[in-house]
Amino acid sequence: MDLTEPEIPEAPASKGHPRQLYMLFFAEMWERFSFYGMKALLLAYMVTELKFDEPKGYAILGSYAALVYTMPMFGGIMADRFLGYRKAVLFGGILMSIGHLVLAVPEDWSFFYGMAFIICGNGFFKPNISSLVGTLYNDNDPRKDSGFSIFYMGINVGAALGGLLCGYVGQRISWHYGFGLAGIFMILGLVVFYFGQKSLKHRGLPPDQAVLKKPLFIGIPTEVVIYVATLLVIPAIVALFNQYEVMDYIMFGLGALSIAYILFISFQMEQAARYKLFAALVLIIFSTLFWGFYEQNAGSLNLFAMRNVDMTVAGVELPALSVNNFLPPAWVILLSFVFAWLWPALNRKGLEPSTPMKFGLSFVFLGIGFYVFYLGCQLSADTGLISLFTFAAGYFFIICGELCISPIGLSMVTKLSPAKIVGMMMGIWFFASAIGEFLAGKIGSLMSVPEDVVDQPVLSLPYYADIINQIGLYSIGIGVLLILLGPVIRKWMGDVR
């Protein structure tokens, strides 16, 4: 039997979720604390501490985020064919722990090397822990979307705490202490998974232990070759950071190859499976645009919060990085309860929106959120500072959009993909996020503020307002288009609900 195939849950649907979900929840929660805590600091650190100009900062942030989400495509393939999900998660966690601790070293060389370790580690950790969640449910189990929503809430508990604490420590105490704090919690997440993985039983084991141990190169086992080859990629990533202009060719070239590869393997399958992959591909391509708009929160909106949001509450000025990186995951935590209840409740009444409809709604909500930001800018032109209430309200709608696409997308990939390529397809789902993150850097650079006005809110506000307005309008338009295409995509999905 292929041990990467989903197994029947231990408990029937009426008795809630499999207990292994909660172990994966906590492992992912602490890993996301470290990841988002570190990410909250990156752009501000580059602009204020390393003195990079804003376009360069956005380019490097976009390249980092793109590579972070590109590597899961390769990590997923390695897990599917050789390592299995569990070994991949452990190896990725070790690399990420090293990367966070390297970032804490106050030396010039540590910045790019620390990010390179995190990029490689995330490639093995991120897609495969999500794939492990998918193994806990059958494809048409009505708990599956709800289970991924709960798992996604764990991601955002960690992200909220990481953004809040690392943002505060980095901005108010020391950038490197903020990076170090992220490293401590990454190790905690790794420990949780290491001791909890036994409860998974046969789920996530290598598909063939003999292949894994087989000598591949001068007598070295395949498993060791994979680990060593990954370490050799790290200097290459550092070189890319120093020549970030070539990322355009890499990202869009890999994107074209990914689409071609999915189409190639789809035509080797019977018709029903082929159309399911077509449906997955269309939704994955649309998700790229979503993340290009959404991921302004880790880039341009960080600087926007520092310069053009009134952070004073009851006479106390809150640290902008903490607030901006706390609000999105905090809204996710609150709204995840609503959405985890909403989808099964609508399903019981036969009213649950289809997956394509949910994707379309995600763009509509996203557009409304950015338009709230824009209205805040229009109402605050005299002071240059929008209210914190308006800022939080905009994020409310943006996160409603996120909850209609991100956990639903994870579940969609595991439903529509043949069992033997679930890891690879999960990697391609994250690669779509990679291209979106790369686009986010380019969109963010359109909001670059000249150095002579960065401390003058009235003058810096227009640099943000115009692009924020355009993001809102384009998002709503794309959402309407996707809703109109929904019936066709739904037909391609066949028996998948």
Is position 497 within any domain? Answer: no
In a domain, 114, yes or no: yes
> Looking at the domain assignment, is residue 4 inside a domain?
no
Q: How many domains, in total, are found in the chain?
A: 1
* Most confident of the ranges 134-143, 271-280, 315-324, 334-343: 315-324
Q: Percent of the chain having pLDDT more than 90?
A: 27
Backbone angles phi, psi at 219, to 5 degrees: 80, 0
Cα–Cα distance for residue pair 400/415, rounded to 1 Å: 23
Q: Does some domain include residue 443?
A: yes
> Where in the sequence is the domain holding 35, given as residue range(s)?
18-492
pTM of the model: 0.79
Which contiguous run of DSSP H or E holds residue 282?
A: helix 271-294
Domain-embedded: residue 290: yes
| DSSP classification of residue 108 | T
Segment 13-65, tens digit of pLDDT: 445 788 888 888 888 888 888 888 888 888 888 888 888 888 888 888 888 88
Cα distances (Å, whole numbers) of residue 443 to 7, 226, 294: 42, 36, 11
Please check whether residue 295 is in contact with residue 65, taking contact to mean a CB–CB distance below 8 angstroms.
Answer: yes
| Of 104, 97, 66, nearest in space to 192 by CA | 97
On average, the pLDDT of the chain sits at: 85
Q: What b-and-e string marks burial along 242-262, b requiring 16 or more CB atoms within 10 Å of the CB?
A: eebeebeeebeebbeebeeeb
pLDDT at 10: 45
- Is position 1 within any domain? no
Q: Give the sign of the dihedral formed by CA 195, CA 201, CA 202, CA 203.
A: negative
CATH of the domain at 411: 1.20.1250.20
Q: Please check whether residue 365 is in contact with residue 357, taking contact to mean a CB–CB distance below 8 angstroms.
A: no
What is d(CA 183, CA 97) in angstroms, rounded to the nearest whole number? 6
**Residue tagged 């739904």 (tokens):** 490
Mean pLDDT value across residues 167-174:
86
Nearest by Cα to 344 from 136, 150, 129, 133: 150
Q: What is the mean pLDDT of residues 423-447?
A: 84
Name the β-bridge partners of 220: 217
Contact criterion met (CB below 8 Å) for 413 and 282: no
Residue 253 pLDDT greater than 60, yes or no:
yes
Cα separation, 386 vs 364, in Å, equals 23
Indicate the helix (H) or strand (E) that contains 412.
Answer: helix 406-416
- Residue-level pLDDT at 371: 95
Q: Which one is predicted more confidently, 339 or 324?
A: 324
